[in-house]
Structures are given as C-alpha cells and as structure tokens.
Homo-oligomer: A and B are copies of this chain.
Amino acid sequence: MDQVRGSQSLIFSQAPYIISAASVAGSKEGEGPLAKLFDLVNDDDLFGAQTWEEAESNMQKEACTLALGKAHVTAEKVRYLFGGDLLRQGIATSMGVEALQIPMFGLYGACSTSGEALALAAMSTAAGYGEYMLAVTSSHFGSAEKEFRFPLGYASQRPLSAHWTVTGSGAFLVGTRKSHVRIAGVTVGKIVDYGLKDSQNMGACMAPAAMDTIVQNLHDMEREPDEYDRIVTGDLGYVGQSILLDLVRGKGYDIRKLHLDCGMTIFDQETQDTHAGGSGCGCAAVTLASFILPKIEKGEWKRVLFVPTGALMSTVSYNEGASVPGIAHGIVLEHC
C-alpha cells in the first residue's frame, strides 16, 4: 500500500512511461495555433466516412495506429485498451477500436476521459498487468453538436460562454518501456456539483471540479504549486479559467503563472470565432499529444499536472432540469 497518497492519489513505485502519442485533428484545428504539431490533419472532416460518428471512429483508429506505429508495437502486443468519447453509449470508441481487437474497457468521463484513460492505463501497467496499454479518446464537432445541441444545418447562434467541440483524437501508448515521460502518479477525481445548470457555460460547471482535484493533488502529494512547471486543465476556456484561478486562490494557492488550458491553447479566439475555447474528449488529448508531451520529453518542463475536466450531463438530464456537475482527474507527468 506504499503507493497510496492522501485520500485520492497514487504515486507509482514503478512509474509507467508514455512511450508514444499521436494526434489526429480536423480542419479547423488544422488552422489553429497547434496546426503544425498534429500528426495528421484532415481537410475533410468526414475522414472518409458517411457520418460524423463514423468519422470520429476513423479518427480514433488512426490515432491508435499512429501511436502504435511510432513505437513499433503491434496491436496484438497491447494488453488492454482504455477508451471513450462523448457520444451516447460511447459508440465512437466501440466502432473505432473494434478493428484493433485489443481487450478493452469502455469509459465515460465526459471531457475528463483522457485523464481517466491515462490513469487506468498507468495503474494497470504499474501493477504489472501488461507491458503495453493504450489510452484513447476523441470528440468531433459534428457528432457532438448533433448529440448535445442542434443539427449543424440550423446554424444556431451560440453564447460567448459556449465552447467549440474539438474535432480530434489522441492516443497514448503507456507501458514499461523507458521513454522520456513517465506517469509518476494520479489523483482520481470526485464529482463536484456547485448546482450550475447552464450547459452553454461548461467552463463554469467544470471549474469547481478542476479546483478540487488540483488542491487535492497538492495536499495528497504534499507539494506547493511551483513544484509543477505547468498545471494544465482540459477545457475550462476563458470563462472557466478565471473562475478556477479565483477558487484556487480561495484555497490559499496562486497558480496564475503556472496555469494553461488546452481549450484556450488549441484555437485562436480572436480569429477562429471559438468563443470560450475548445472542448471535448479530443481537446485535452490532442493538445497533450502534440504540444505538452514534446515539451516534457525535451525537459523544457520537468513536471506537469495534467487535469482534464468533464461536465457530467446529457440532453435528458438537461431537459429534466438537473444540474451539471463536473469531474476532473489529475495525471502527474515527469521528464525522465
């Protein structure tokens, strides 16, 4: 039990590595600030498919294949796959990873799913349950608008607090083979509910969960914020960031200079009309794969707390007047 820290965290006595990562992104992401860092950008957002859902599945398959290829590992060598997406019944993942034929655990953590998948892949590797594990998540603007809001053809107006769902998929090969990035520990998130009900303001809904996980990580690990080079949230966006910084300050910590949000990084707010920022399971995943991991690999950042954030809602819960609680999982990434 020496790996257990505080009430929610683990520090791995044998930390697993992120051996390789891959990012697949859509056309709008390919016009944004991270354009040149993605492994694959497709101008056709249907990714050769007939439907948005199948397009999302194709992205997942492509991201997994790329991550495996970079590490020269075949799918048969991967012990377990942990994957998820935003769609009802996680259908993009089921259809996306089917061809790989890897024993799999389907996950749902809304936009926090990349953290959930990385945590379970790391936990399974550190426990000696296999040499290689795959973590994959995705989101697609077309399928997400159809799932949660209106058909694209309606051209609905969106409030400035609304996010733009990222079209993208990130895959991560986690395992025992040494690389320059290790998953040193995790902080598993609790559901945090401040009673907010506005699904067009997800940043506000998720910020309390991000605060809770970040503060819990600092307590559990007995660290000060500046022991991290960056604290990276998933998709709080501009609205959520200001709330997060306030809430964290209320707990006695100042993370203003350390904080970075994937949803604010992936799009250029001024030129891309993306309002509060990017969101979706793919947002944090592709930003991690393309932008954050290379910096840790090179040693530019020595230790990063990666905290993807999810808003737990469905169209049914929204229509029934339920609140939108949040959840966030913390992944401690270290250069090695």
Number of copies: 2
Decide: A116 and B126 in contact? CB cutoff 8 A.
no
Inside 8 A of A178's CB, which chain B residues have their CB? none
CA distance A128 to B320 in the complex (A): 40
Chain A residues 107 to 135 lying within 8 A of chain B, measured CB to CB, are 107-110, 116, 119-120, 123-124, 126-131
Q: Is the beta-carbon distance between B193 and A98 smaller than 8 angstroms?
A: yes
Kindly state whether residue A313 has any CB partner on chain B within 8 Å. Answer: yes
Q: Is A87 part of the binding interface, using a Cβ–Cβ cutoff of 8 Å?
A: yes
- Give the complex CA separation of A97 and B191 in angstroms: 8
The residues of B that contact A95 with a CB separation of less than 8 Å are 312, 317, 322, 325
Which residues of A186-209 have CB atoms within 8 Å of chain B's CB atoms? 188-191, 193
Contact yes or no, B10 A101, CB < 8 A: no
Q: Is A1 an interface residue, CB under 8 A from the partner?
A: yes
Which residues from 249 to 303 on chain A have a C-beta closer than 8 Å to any C-beta of chain B? none
A179 part of interface (Cβ distance < 8 Å): no
User: Smallest Cβ distance from A328 to chain B, in angstroms?
Assistant: 11
Q: Which residues of B contact A124 (CB under 8 A)?
A: 123
Give the distance to chain B from A77, nearest Cβ to Cβ, in Å: 10
Contact partners of A80 in chain B: CB under 8 A = 188
The CB with the most chain B CB atoms within 10 A, among A86, A90, A327, is that of A90
Q: Given A53-B317, A84-B108, A120-B120, A190 and B8 touching (CB < 8 A)?
A: no
* Beta-carbon contacts under 8 Å, A87-110 to B: 87-91, 94-95, 97-98, 101-110
Q: How far is the CA of A130 from the CA of B119 in the complex (A)?
A: 15
Extra A-B contacts (8), CB below 8 Å, given A105-B119, A127-B127:
A10-B129, A89-B312, A90-B108, A91-B312, A97-B191, A105-B188, A106-B107, A127-B128
> Can you sample 9 A-B contacts with CB below 8 Å?
A1-B130, A8-B103, A53-B316, A53-B317, A80-B188, A88-B88, A88-B89, A101-B191, A102-B190
Residues of A within 8 A of B (CB): 1-4, 7-8, 10, 50-51, 53-54, 76, 79-80, 84, 86-91, 94-95, 97-98, 101-110, 116, 119-120, 123-124, 126-131, 146-147, 188-191, 193, 312-317, 320, 322, 325, 327
> Which are the 10 A-B pairs with shortest beta-carbon distances?
A88-B88, A127-B127, A103-B188, A89-B314, A94-B312, A106-B108, A90-B108, A98-B191, A91-B314, A8-B103
